[in-house]
Amino acid sequence: MNKNDLLKDITKSNEEMLRYFTGTSNTLLQSVQDHQTELFEINIKLDELYRTKNIYSPATSSRKNVFSPIIKISEQDEKENEINSQINDLKVVKETLENKISDEEREIRLISEKLAGLTSAKKALVSLSTFLDKYTDIDDETDGFEFIEEEPEISDAAKHGTNILMLNAYDNTYNATLLDTKVKGDILNNIHRLEMLNYLITSDPERARITAGEINNHLKSTTGHIDTLLTRMNYNFDVDQTIFVILDDFITSNKDKHPECVIDSDIKCNDYDKKLSYEKTLALIKLLNIFFDNIYKHSEASQITLRITLNDDSIDVMINDNGRGIERNYLRKSPWYSSLHRAHEIIYLLDGKLSIKGSKKDGTSVSFSFGI
């Protein structure tokens, strides 16, 4: 099969899956909104029934006295029983709707993960297509995936370029998914609560107060999701400070957040007023965050040693922990979008050097350097 035909078939299949999962996700989102609207209406009906029930429920009942004669169920009691029956029916419907919403939201999250992978694959296929157009003869025939010997191998630059594009696509998809499923979801839920609040203000002030509290809590949750996005997009990053102050703040912050892990740090700097460019500072802190996060999540270490040397034209970093040690084939075992893959690509873009070694006895040692 011709290489380009093969690539077209793969691309077509990828696009079909993207369309399918996107359509399924949109259908589920619409279904969730419809169910939430229905749930809102049921809550209103339940509220009305509870208030109506209070009218028909007597404050006292002579039947509670065991010596009282047996009397027929009054019309008032019949009405109360009818209301109770309606309430029970609505409770069943409400529980069913809540379960449906929960199941659909869980399915939406799973589909979002699939879409992230498919979107990244689409970017990679575009990059691969560009490469094939540039370096291969479209008329060359191949047997399956076996290319002709004269065909040049993919260069390191092309490999890194593809990886970087895929990571960028992953980040964009992740951020978009967070905006759609979390931020937008919280906003839609609060719209429903505000509609209910508008009704409850006059009918049930106490319930209105509770609903207002729920809205406040969800707004805090929304703010948290937005802060997560801003952090991922480096919006709050301040590069006006000297690199020494930024590094010192990084160390102090980690000590405060992870008191269970002792950090022994030393920063050597010839010029304490030195500032790095925005992109170099951002890359340095990103790398430090990647390696420290991996220690906290995977190493089971109780101590970290950090040594940073700021030279006139370069920066050298050494990180060592006393954890269980990273495996040699960590890159093959970790998914392509993992933070360690990302670290390698950052170092490549900086034209720097990176070494990661691990052993059960000595833990994990990371060293990297790049020009500044």
Domain segments of the chain: what residues? 3-232, 243-371
Q: Which pLDDT band holds residue 82 (cuts at 50, 70, 90)? A: confident
What does the pLDDT read at residue 140? 45
| Cα separations in angstroms, 31 against 37, 102, 186, 195, 353 | 10, 11, 16, 19, 51
For residue range 242-284, what is the model confidence (pLDDT) as tens digits? 999 999 999 999 999 999 999 999 999 888 888 888 888 889 9
**How much is the average pLDDT of 219-237?**
78
DSSP state of 313: S
Burial tier of 319 (Cβ tally within 10 Å: 0-12, 13-18, 19+): buried
For residue range 43-74, what is the model confidence (pLDDT) as tens digits? 888 877 777 776 655 444 444 444 444 444 56
Residue 322 has pLDDT above 70, yes or no: yes
Residue 10 has pLDDT above 80, yes or no: no
For residue range 115-174, what is the model confidence (pLDDT) as tens digits? 777 777 777 767 666 666 655 544 444 444 444 445 556 677 777 888 788 777 777 887
Computed over every residue of the chain, the mean pLDDT equals 79
Nearest to 174 by CA among 99, 109, 116, 133: 116
Instruction: Please tell me whether residue 269 adopts helix, strand or coil conformation.
Output: strand
Instruction: Name which CATH class applies to 3-232.
Output: mainly alpha
Nearest to 171 by CA among 114, 233, 230: 233
d(CA 325, CA 363): 4
What does the pLDDT read at residue 135? 53
Domains 3-232 and 243-371 share a fold: no
- Percent of the chain past pLDDT 70, that is, above it, reads 82
Say yes or no: domain 243-371 is CATH 3.40.50.720.
no
Higher-pLDDT residue of 55, 31: 31
